[in-house]
Amino acid sequence: MTALDADSNPPAMAAKATLCISILYLSDMYHGAEWPPAPMRLFQALIAGFNQGRSRSDHDEPFNAAMRWWEQLPPPDIWACGAKPGSRCRVFVPNNDDDIAMRAWARGKPEDPLDRAKRYTEKARQPWLLEGDRSVRYGWAIPADKEAWRSGWRTTQPGSPLWMGR
């Protein structure tokens, strides 16, 4: 992984067919565990963004085929801006145990706010402080036998920004 200047092009992009996805962070902080983010985070964000506002029964075969094709590719090259660890801080987040509150509500006894406060867990967070152009680029070299992706991929591009991280 190397730092990428805003004016430079990744070397692998000019030589062969490459699927390149660029992420620009609007903030100069990233709150994920690792920098740069693993390609799986991008994959998850694309699927979540594409399915936002859709029913689970709605199927889009071209999109599904493009995702299946994409997940078969070898790992991408990653170019990322520089980042350094920020200051650690503690945050308190609710546990994923709302079933306790729902059972109390079903019995007609709403949960006491003090009981709810006891269900919060302390977590340590350490943001990454992004430098330079605040971007990450993922580049997948397209094997010659997989160039059939072009027609399906173009028709399934989500048009709105996606959230990647916390």
Model confidence at 148: pLDDT above 80: no
Q: What amino acid is encoded at 70 in this protein? A: W
Could you give the percent of the chain with pLDDT greater than 90?
30
Helices (H), 52-155: 61-71, 99-106, 113-118, 149-154
Give residue 153's pLDDT: 52
User: Which of 1-5, 47-51, 60-64, 151-155 shows the lowest mean pLDDT across its residues?
Assistant: 1-5
What ranges do the domains of the chain cover? 16-82+132-147, 89-125
| Side chain identity, residue 60 | D
Higher pLDDT, 11 or 56: 56
